[in-house]
Amino acid sequence: MAQHVLLIEDEPNIAEAIRFLLTRDGLRVSHAAEGAAALVLLRQDPPDLVILDHMLPGMSGLEVLTAVRADPESRNLPVMMLTARGRDREMAEAAGADRFMTKPFSNAEIIAEVRTMLGQPRQAP
């Protein structure tokens, strides 16, 4: 069975581009455009990796990440934060992001990061 990525991104063009790249690379991709819906999807169909935008409507990406890390079921889930603002890196890392990528990014860069993250063993806190 294909590994599952939950993509949480509110920009339709970016979400579609990432979904296309990851699906073409053999991954199963679920998508949510806002934080509360993403947390529901995460519980209903647990992913192997989360790609999480920092700036989302309603709940911010940092709030979503805090909820993911607080839940024992998803605490060790690999999370890559995306943002258009490089200065958000420290906040994302402090909240528990495993990787951080600044927009814009190249197709090869995101595929390489996702492959690396999916190959990593999950570490207990």
Cα gap 24→16, rounded to integer Å:
12
What pLDDT score does 86 carry? 64
d(CA 102, CA 88): 9
Domain positions in the chain are 4-118
pLDDT given for residue 123 in this prediction: 46
Rounded average pLDDT per 10-residue block, the chain, 125 residues: 93 95 96 95 96 92 95 94 77 86 88 89 45
What is the structure's pLDDT at 125?
45
State residue 121's pLDDT score: 42
Phi and psi dihedrals of 54, rounded to 5? -75, -45
User: Are 74 and 119 contacting, i.e. CB atoms less than 8 angstroms apart?
Assistant: no
d(CA 5, CA 49): 5
What distance separates the 2 farthest-apart alpha carbons in the chain?
37
> What fold characterizes domain 4-118?
Rossmann fold (3.40.50)
pTM for this predicted structure: 0.90
